[in-house]
Amino acid sequence: MNEYIIITGGAGYIGSHTIAEILLKTNYQVISIDNFSNSYEFVYENLFQLTHKKIISINLDLCNKQKLFEQIEPYHKKIAGIIHFAAFKSVPESVEKPLMYYHNNITSLLNIIELAIHFNIPNFIFSSSCSVYGDIKSSPVTENTPLPQPISPYAHTKQIGEQILDQLIHLSNPPLKIFALRYFNPVGSHPSGLIGELPKYNLTGLVPNIIRAALHKIPVLQVFGNDYNTKDGTPIRDYIHVSDIAYAHVLALQKLQTKSSSSFFDVINLGTGKGFTVLEVIKTFENINQIKVPYQIVGRRHGDVEAIYANNDKALQEIGWKPEYSLEDMLKTAWKWGKERY
């Protein structure tokens, strides 16, 4: 009997790459739930070109619990796990529209975890974020680093999500086995060039805007602040290839399958363990792709932290994961995808 994995937000950036890894490297079938609020249906066609396997696509807003249960009920006896990506994810937008972020991100999580309990789906992976570490003062951060006050509503929804799941494992019946994977800064695209990052709005990430500036789709790339206490004054981030992140979900799912039937919750950092400044990323992009990127320094952006990168030892110990792609690989694959799509 072929088993299904539910992937929420499957047409999105990390979701689509995770579908590719699951279909190429496991025997699971995929049920993708997405309302395409910030993604495109053609992603599924590209995934078929890549994997030669069809997925079940459900067009649904996860905040509608009744429809969610109705759509999943025909498959529920064959579902082995859930990977929950679907969420609003722009830090600047969350500062502007906090209530929208709290409503969407928390309600959708509550509904999908209630689905897991109702249909006895024991294995659950939550898409968390390094934003839970807030304006941390020292790096690398480990999973045991105390979480400070979040500096954006988006980050707060991820902290709340982890807390809800941690509490539920002590209370839910049947038992739940849960990993919360804290992503650092996903960039790059699948080496095939068939899937990549293409949100409908809120292109606030550094690399998409580097590509847009290189293609003259925007007049200039804005660099938010050069007065941070870093080597060149610009913020430091841990950039990680999206396919490395996607494969970690396959390994985490396999690990959950091997665990006993008792409840379980743990968090894992997914980062390279290396930090690069914004200007270093721009210069690397220019060198690797032989193209100039026009940029200008502007004021700091509310919600940004100065520097953060991961200690990823636990990922190797717990699920046998380590990143394979370099920063150059990330920026080369991002350009391959972006110059065709943007």
Question: What are the Cα distances from residue 139, in Å, to 144, 182, 238, 330?
Answer: 12, 15, 10, 22
Q: Is 40 a catalytic residue?
A: no
- d(Cα 102, Cα 120) in Å, to the nearest integer? 27
- d(Cα 128, Cα 270) in Å, to the nearest integer? 10
Helices (H), 2-97: 13-25, 42-51, 65-72, 91-96
Question: What are the Cα distances from residue 333, in Å, to 195, 259, 269, 322?
Answer: 10, 36, 23, 19
Task: Calculate helix-pair angle for 278-289, 327-341, nearest 10 degrees.
Answer: 70
321, 248 Cβ separation under 8 angstroms = yes
- d(Cα 56, Cα 78) in Å, to the nearest integer? 13
Helices (H), 204-326: 206-214, 242-258, 278-289, 313-319
Give φ, ψ of 136 to 5 degrees.
-65, 145
Q: Which of 4, 13, 133, 154 is catalytic?
A: 154
Q: Which residues are catalytic?
A: 154
